[in-house]
Amino acid sequence: MGKWKGIALGVTLTGLLLSGCGTSVDQQATEDSTEEKAEKKVEETVTNENGSSQETGQDGAQQNEEGQSDTVRIMEKNLQYELGGEVKEETAFLKTSTNQGYSMYVLPAYELNEEEPGKDMLTLKGQEEVSMRIELLPEDVNWTEMEENTISFLKAVSDTVNPVTEDGLTIENGSVQEVEKDNERVTSVLIKDKETPVRLTIFTQKDADHRKAFLEMGKTILKAK
């Protein structure tokens, strides 16, 4: 597997001001109502430093009014994936790449390490040949050229490059292709996200198929602002 890898090396609440109204018929009821509104507002709205409101997305990132994700994320998140024909759900923990300036959620059985400038490796602990290379791409990436480059890399492993359509291995805003040779499998994923475009190269074996776990973790990659 090593030879194939070498080929392509705060919370600001909105004002809850009570107008002066002289005397109150039931001051306690008013205070209770105010507290309930405040608690609800904390759950629904977060205001960033420049005053724009944000809502927390499913991946734990906060989204501003334009739908863009900021870099404030919760420290852990449950990920569901399939391994060995069994559906699993585990808590993944937020990790940050200082090499490329992004964060992602990593399951306990894997570890994130810098490979070289512009490339990181997410590996299965104790089995480094089962891994995923992570490459953040420029926002103005030419996807046609990137797809051609990716196919050329895959063809260095095998002439037969196949699109992947299996459930759990497809991605809505990208493409997945792979090659096989003997017991080895190399899978390339292009995530064509406007803010965080990325190429993932997954190195697995037929008897150690961690592709779906890698892809679920890869989907959580978010470029720092």
d(CA 180, CA 159): 10
Backbone angles phi, psi at 94, to 5 degrees: -70, 125
End-to-end CA distance of the chain: give it in Å, rounded. Answer: 35
d(CA 29, CA 182): 73
d(CA 143, CA 123): 27
Q: Could you say which DSSP state residue 221 is in?
A: -
Residue 37 near residue 16 (C-beta atoms within 8 A): yes
| pLDDT computed for residue 57 by the predictor | 43
Q: From residue 189, how far is each of 30, 55, 102, 127 by CA, in Å? A: 56, 29, 17, 21
Domains within the chain, CATH numbers bracketed? 2-7+74-223 (3.40.1000)
| pLDDT computed for residue 101 by the predictor | 96
Question: What is the DSSP track for 119-182?
Answer: EEEEEETTEEEEEEEEEE--TT--HHHHHHHHHHHHHTT-S--EE---TTS--TTEEEEEEEET
| pLDDT computed for residue 72 by the predictor | 80
**pTM given for the model:** 0.72
Mean pLDDT per block of 10 residues along the chain (225 residues) reads 51 33 43 46 36 40 47 91 95 97 98 96 96 97 97 96 94 94 96 97 95 98 93
